[in-house]
Amino acid sequence: MARRKQTTEEPEERSRLAGAVVLVVLGAVVFGVLFAWSDAVGILAVWIAATAAGWWYVRRPVSDSSATPPPGEDRPRCRECAGHRFVGVTPSQAQKGMLIYTSAPPDRPNHTHVHVVHAPTPAPAER
């Protein structure tokens, strides 16, 4: 006799969009009730909600995932820059994801040695 494999269905993952739609509908119902009750109360509620949303937006922490990584000891090296004094590193404005490393030789004060390299990609943030 052949046994039937029982398929276990995993619960469907809930969408963030569905949650947002529910919140928008609930907000619309609340504001509709407030405007039906009194125009002044409805307008005041809209002002309070907008101020709270703006305050939340300004105060929330900023993700550092798009920040340029700090320069470390892994700066590029070549035969020409042996013994040079490290001047600095800046992100390239023309090509995103590129870093510009500069160094100065000790015997030529008006010369700058430049390396343009890909910035190391940070590890994806864990959820």
Question: What is the spatial distance between Cα 27 and Cα 42, in angstroms, rounded to a whole number?
Answer: 12
Domain boundaries, the chain: 16-59, 85-118
Q: Give residue-wise pLDDT tens across range 84-100.
A: 777 888 887 777 778 88
Give 70-107 as a DSSP string: PP-TT----STTTTPEEEEEEE-SSSTTEEEEEEE-TT
Query: Tokens 């030789």 — which residue?
Result: 105
pLDDT in tens, the chain (127 residues): 555 555 666 667 777 788 889 999 999 999 999 999 999 999 999 999 999 999 999 988 876 666 655 555 566 667 777 777 778 888 877 777 788 888 888 887 788 888 777 776 655 554 4
The residue whose two tokens read 């070549």 is 78
If residue 115 lies in a helix (H) or strand (E), which one and from where to where? Answer: strand 113-118
